[in-house]
Amino acid sequence: MDLADMLIKKGVLKNPRLIEAFQAVDRKYFVPKELKSHAYIDEPLSIGEGQTISQPWTVAFMLELLDPIPGDNIMEIGYGSGWQTALLAATGANVYAIERVPKLCEFGKRNFEEFFKRGRGFYFSARFFCQDGTLGLPEIAKKIGGFDKIIVAAAGEKLPEAWKNQLKIGGKIVAPIAHSIFEFIKNPDGSFNEREHRGFAFVPLVPDKK
Ligand code: SAH
């Protein structure tokens, strides 16, 4: 059984656009060679540098909350393997992906490009940045009038101000904080509505030292 079917059976994957993305983007291309045989198991896997490619169930859960749609400008923090970057891009979103560990910056970008070369008739739009994601991408945010959505794969203690500022009114952030996944929606007055989903484990969000 493939991953998409498994995630549908488990009840976490529902959105037709995301089902298509999970069917199109093969996780095998985003895991290290020696772990290819584990690519379709619902577990996080080591990608080196003390980091992991996230568990499929968690990726599906977060993407369902994010609800990426074609044309969305989405900032992704902690792209690691590039798998989620490709899933986002497969929905038709423009992805601005940030990773801070140089070896993984290369790994994820290469995986994405290798996969992209295989074509599959999709138009993928992603740009990769190798830097501290807690600062966001202020210049790009300014140019495009703010991100529609932000998704984060590493857990901090609180939401960095930069992400709040770089999000459009009505935009949404899906981010882990400590052991919960939060949804934050930006109100017209700049305040945020939040919703918490408890019981997750993430690698830590590591800001660059000042
Ligand atoms: N979506 C990725 C998850 C990788 S784990 C995947 O499924 O492959 C989370 C990633 O966040 C790690 O690669 C880690 O290096 C990165 N990370 C942690 N702190 C960061 C920061 N401040 N800026 C950018 N990336 C960060």
CATH number at residue 169: 3.40.50.150
- ∠ CA 89-145-82, nearest 5°, is 25
- Is 204 within a domain? no
- Is 11 within a domain? yes
pLDDT confidence of 137, banded at 50, 70, 90? very high
pLDDT for 118: 73
Q: Is 37 a catalytic residue?
A: no
Distance from C-alpha of 59 to C-alpha of 187, rounded to nearest angstrom = 26
* Domain carrying residue 188: 3-198
* Residue-averaged pLDDT of the chain: 95
Please pick, among 37, 46, 54, 180, the residue that the annotation labels catalytic.
54
- Is 203 within a domain? no
Distance from C-alpha of 131 to C-alpha of 77, rounded to nearest angstrom = 10
Looking at residues 12-23, what average pLDDT do you find? 97
Domain count, the chain: 1
Mutate to test the pocket of ligand 1, among 31, 79, 105 (most ligand atoms within 8 A of CB): 79
What size, in residues, is the chain?
A: 210
pLDDT confidence of 183, banded at 50, 70, 90? very high
Mutate to test the pocket of ligand 1, among 25, 99, 105 (most ligand atoms within 8 A of CB): 99
- Is 209 within a domain? no
pLDDT for 123: 67
Q: Is 141 exposed, middle or buried (0-12, 13-18, 19+ CB in 10 A)?
A: buried
Reported pTM:
0.97
